[in-house]
Amino acid sequence: MGWVMVGRPRVVATVDDVAELEALARSARRDEADRARAVLLSMHGWTSGETARAFGVTPDSVRRWRTWFMAEGVDGLRAHPQAGPAPIKSEAALALAREVLSGPVADRPNWTLPRLQAELAARSGISISKAQLSKALKKGGSDGAVPVIACTGGRTRKRSTGPG
């Protein structure tokens, strides 16, 4: 049986590729930035295992990113829109939340996830779970908008009655 020697990855890039990788490494999107940094580290002799440990991913992920880069260049490392149907419920929930939370704080009721659920059902007939509503509010819209609010999922912290 023959042995396979595993060596350091060989990534070849032009000066322009390196400049694009360095720019992508500063991306606001962490996934894109991590992929670009991983390829740059590979160019500097890091192994897949070393790079994977640095980013908290598997060595196979690092190998996949290098393959994408070698096949498609820097564009292969960029995030692509997810396939599938439009997030109708989440978008409707975000629009409602923005509307009801836009008024002055003194003039509006306290909105909880169950109250937002009920209001959405009453206004549009759309039902959405508390979990999906919470994720939608935390994430923001598909248009990249800023999240509406930080949700606690309807839970409140209990006040401590003990010492200290």
73-86 pLDDT, tens per residue? 999 999 887 778 77
**If you write DSSP's letter for every residue of 4-28 in order, what string do you get?**
-----------HHHHHHHHHHTT-S
Question: What are the sequence ranges of the domains in the chain?
Answer: 15-77, 88-139
Angle at alpha carbon of residue 101, lines to 96 and 105, rounded to 5° = 160
What does the pLDDT read at residue 149? 52
Assigned token pair, 37: 């940094």
pLDDT, tens digit, for every residue of 85-114? 777 888 888 888 888 877 777 777 788 889
Higher pLDDT, 27 or 159: 27
Mean pLDDT, rounded, of the chain: 80
Read off the DSSP letter of residue 75. Answer: G
Nearest to 117 by CA among 91, 96, 99: 96
